[in-house]
Structure 1
Amino acid sequence: MSDRLVKLIILDQDPIFRYGLSAMLNETSDCEVIWNGDREADAWDFLGELMRDSNMDHPASVYMLLLELGDGRSEASLYGGIRFCQQIKSEYPQIPILVLSAVGDVQIVNAARNGGVDGWCVKGASVTEIQSAIESILAGQGYWDGFIGVTNSLTQFTPDFPNQRSNSSLFTNFRQRLHQSGDNYINDSLRRIQHKLKTPGLPLLEQVILAGRSRELLAARWLLDQILPSPTTPETISNTENRQPLSDRNLPVLSPVTTPSNHSPRGLQAELFANCANHLQQPLHNVSDLALEIDILLIDKKRELLYLVLQNFANQLEDLRNAQLGTEQINQLAGNLIQDLWETTVINFFGKFSRIQIPDQQFQQEREIELSQLILQDRKLVNQEILAKIPRVADLIVYLIHQTDWYMENEVYPATHPEAKSDAQIILENLLIQVANATIQPLINRLADVESIKKNFYNRQMLSSREIERFRNNLSWKYRFHKYYLEPKAIFESRYHLFVFAPRGIAQTSVYAPRQAELSQLRGIPLLVTIGFEFRDAIAPRLQSLVSVLGSAVVFVLTQVVGRGLGLVAKGILQGIGSAALPNMKNRK
């Protein structure tokens, strides 16, 4: 890198990402994190004190600001972060700025570059890539890898309604603005609803509610068109869809830029990893029907562990790129790669030299052990129960490194096709969750009831011995149920059941995959389960037909025979009662 020490200031609202990045950058010889925080005002005050106390002409060190734009999610917050970068550059132009963001929108990146940002690196990138970005910025070249459409040219803002005549009346302008505002709101709401409806594990009631809201919005659009018909042409409406929001007009931004269709492999990886990092900000409660090993963790520990797996996987991909391995070699090494990823995660999460005191039943006293080394002793069991069953890892690695076509649902999609990226995202998220489960599984097996472990890792509902044993029993039943029922069923149905990050938490979904080879290798109880499913599929339609015929016969007997018989009996009784009552009435007269 540079011959000077790079002193870094990190600004990010996510504490786990911030502290994890600080720890990894501090391990390098060229970087030192001198401040990290989550408030722009605190960063501004620190920079002010730093500039007053430091001699910027001194060659021993150089300063750089690494930050996420606002909260990294809402558009208003992103543009607020860009304004903060503008303020930094206007006051301290000598400080380079590198954005680490989960956003990959080219228009936002353009606005940031024109606002004074020197480089952009997507969250989830490896430490090696972040170091490369810092080096490139210090060399005066900037860093915009994966953002081919980014340019330095500035353009003026387009007016809200380009087709608008200068002689248009004030009322027409107001009506046009009102119609466009309502139409944009309806379109945005419909897009959000459609996105939510695709969420795995969404409850049926919520699906019905969202479908109802969608119908209401479509009705509102029709009503809007009836009450406020827009004088603009369809071409004008399509041209105004991407105009700049009014609230952001004081920013020097580009006119809309179309995201390039071809991404570099690094850009493709950065996009998927950024989505994962963004999903990790959502709730991480388990909303599936199966117990997960990571359910026992504190929510911050769970998020930290998943971040760590993502970061380690990024570093592993970087090493594989440098080794220039081909597709066949990666397929052969896939099992070892997952094992290495798990071992690295165990060491980084628990600490390479972390030691704990555990009771020694033989000598009636406590003894000290290395936590990570004890957990690594279960590598064979963990590989058999969890790691070896993670699907399509080799396909994912080849896809991310060589940007190969993606095969799914008997179709082949180009690497940058939305369906390919969506399916690869599911495989990636399942990999993160399962490696995290494998990291915690030996801890639950060996040290579940150790007080120091419970204090540092477990959520507050899992502190009692009874709750821990109940949780372990649930996991034990899960392993058996999965081995003898769920896995044979998934193989027979040619599907993989995967865990993904959903807005409500960790949910379960399924994808199609040809599994004939695994089906032919089933033996014992799993084979009997598939035979049972096949027998049920063969018999069920016939039984349904038989039950339907018998049901029709019973209905006929009850209505036509028994019903008519009862009707005749009732009629006879009524006639008898009437005949007996008639002479009595005559006698009274």
Structure 2
Amino acid sequence: MNRNLSFVKLIYKENSKGLIKKLLIAGRQRELNKARLFLIWLFDSLGFSDSPVKFNNVSSYLYLPSINLDLNDNTCQKAWYRIRKRLETVFMNDIMNDTGYLLAIDALNYERRRDLLLALLSQLDIVIKQLYRDKIHGEKINYFWYQLQPELRRTVLEKMAGADVEISKNGELKSVAGVLIKNCKWEDDRELPPPQAILGPLAQGQPILIEGYLLSLDDHRAALQIEALVSNWLIRTAELIGAEVLSECSQWPELRCYLLRRDLMVTRNLERLRNQLNTQEWWNLYFDRPIRLYESKRLVWRIQRTSVIPYYITEARDKELEDLPWWQQLITFVLETRDAIAPQLQLLFQRIGNIIVIILTQIVGKAIGLIVRGILQGMGRSFTRDQD
């Protein structure tokens, strides 16, 4: 299946022209990704593997991108500088979506997507420097961060859309940034970790707990973990803004030429994409997220080379699990029941299989043997009489 996925990706890159072919190839890629995830979930849950899959072990960091931190460079400021520079380089060259999910930022054209991600990175840099300068610690970091979010997103929207750009709307020139800021309904992504997990190590040099070890940012594993969390915040926040931009473009056709890809200027294509994103978000929120909470996993979007890929971090999420409404907790109850019943079902099927083997070999087999022997003996007697 992995070979098929690689082959499909290669075909997708080679077929740069032809919308129908690209849509068919993209659909096939989504089918393979979903089938792969389903098989991993199915076989792991039934206990066919000897050991559970580890999502956050040391060997997994071999697949993470290298940022070449000097082991003697033990200051959080220098570590953040190198992470920021690497991400800036990636965003300037654009990023590819290898998550297996639809992303709203894919709908933006290259310039707007680049400006959005770079603006978010710049604002995060300002926040980290302010936290370091003002010596903000502990829970005050979370409070400071949440208070800053509305202003941060407004600033990012102005940089992405252009503070002075005006486009006609209903025959009247309107400020793009002003309309977006006014109409956007800011929501939080529930899959984002607490801000202290990112800002504490980067702004105050707090150690990071990885596989039972407290590591500082001069350790490559800690630096790579922080880079993954930073990338996750950038992509998920850009997704929130991108979804609001798509919603506004749906009601402001002239805005599509400025912000979106060329194929999304067509109303049908845009509405289809919005419906697909809404369905995906609904399924993720009400079904996939409870399963991840129960399995103590956090889905992180991290950047590997120039691609956005999924990455799972194992951490305790019991408090979030308890806060779920009762009908979402039913999903976790079904999983718990399945885990409890699966060994008994395996044992039952094994016993039934053994019984069937015994019946076929000891009873049916012997009966057939006796019948065949009787037939052969009867044929032998008939042959003897014919000779006489």
| Shorter-chain TM band | 0.7 to 0.9
> Which residue does the alignment assign to 2:113?
302
> Which residue does the alignment assign to 2:321?
519
Distance 1:581 1:369, change over 3 A: farther
Is 1:318 the counterpart of 2:139? The answer is: no
What are the Cα deviations for residues 411-431 of structure 1, in whole angstroms up to 9, with x where unaligned?
Answer: 321232211111111100001
Coordinate RMSD, CA, aligned: 2.9
Is 1:373 the counterpart of 2:184? The answer is: no
Which aligned pairs between 1:267-282 and structure 2 lie closer than 5 A? 267-280=78-91
- Kept after mapping to 1: 8 A contact 2:287/2:331: yes
> Which residue does the alignment assign to 1:352?
163
Distance 1:318 1:556, change over 3 A: same
Distance 1:566 1:294, change over 3 A: farther
> Which residue does the alignment assign to 2:95?
284
Is 1:505 the counterpart of 2:310? The answer is: no
Shift of 1:521: 1.6
TM-score, length-normalised on structure 2? 0.75
TM-score, length-normalised on structure 1? 0.51
Distance 2:103 2:285 in 1: 15
Which letter maps to 1:383? E
Distance 2:268 2:240 in 1: 23
- Kept after mapping to 2: 8 A contact 1:483/1:526: no
Distance 1:581 1:275 in 2: 92
Distance 1:263 1:442, change over 3 A: same
Which has the larger Rg?
1
Shift of 1:432: 0.8
> Which residue does the alignment assign to 2:22?
none
Distance 1:575 1:335, change over 3 A: farther
What are the Cα deviations for residues 426-449 of structure 1, in whole angstroms up to 9, with x where unaligned?
Answer: 100001101111221111123236
Distance 1:336 1:570, change over 3 A: farther
Larger RCO, structure (CA 8 Å, separation 6 or more): 2
> Which residue does the alignment assign to 1:185?
none
- Kept after mapping to 1: 8 A contact 2:167/2:174: yes
Is 1:556 the counterpart of 2:361? The answer is: no
> Helix, strand or coil: the match of 2:310?
strand
Between Structure 1 and Structure 2, which shows a larger proportion of helix residues?
Answer: 2
- Kept after mapping to 2: 8 A contact 1:316/1:341: no
> Which residue does the alignment assign to 2:345?
543
List gaps (5 residues or longer) in structure 1: 1-193, 201-257, 360-365
Distance 1:495 1:337 in 2: 28
> Which residue does the alignment assign to 1:198?
63
Identity of aligned residues (%): 21
Determine which of 408, 412, 429 is the counterpart of 2:214: 412
- Kept after mapping to 1: 8 A contact 2:64/2:224: no
Distance 1:583 1:355 in 2: 111
Is 1:474 the counterpart of 2:339? The answer is: no
Distance 1:508 1:458, change over 3 A: same
Distance 1:372 1:281, change over 3 A: closer
> Helix, strand or coil: the match of 1:372?
helix
Which aligned pairs between 1:41-80 and structure 2 lie closer than 5 A? none
> Helix, strand or coil: the match of 1:485?
helix
List gaps (5 residues or longer) in structure 2: 1-58
Distance 2:364 2:306 in 1: 55
> Which residue does the alignment assign to 1:488?
290
Shift of 1:547: 1.9
Distance 1:426 1:392 in 2: 14
Determine which of 423, 426, 429 is the counterpart of 2:228: 426
- Kept after mapping to 1: 8 A contact 2:94/2:306: yes
- Kept after mapping to 2: 8 A contact 1:279/1:502: no
> Helix, strand or coil: the match of 1:275?
helix
> Helix, strand or coil: the match of 1:509?
strand
Aligned residue-pair number:
327
What are the Cα deviations for residues 81-107 of structure 1, in whole angstroms up to 9, with x where unaligned?
Answer: xxxxxxxxxxxxxxxxxxxxxxxxxxx
> Which residue does the alignment assign to 2:48?
none
Distance 2:283 2:277 in 1: 10
> Helix, strand or coil: the match of 1:289?
coil
- Kept after mapping to 1: 8 A contact 2:115/2:159: no
Determine which of 162, 187, 190 is the counterpart of 1:383: 187
Comparing 499-508 with 430-439, which one deviates more in the overlay? 499-508
Determine which of 122, 134, 138 is the counterpart of 1:327: 138
- Kept after mapping to 1: 8 A contact 2:207/2:217: yes
- Kept after mapping to 1: 8 A contact 2:128/2:203: yes
- Kept after mapping to 2: 8 A contact 1:409/1:513: no
> Which residue does the alignment assign to 1:440?
242
- Kept after mapping to 2: 8 A contact 1:414/1:420: yes
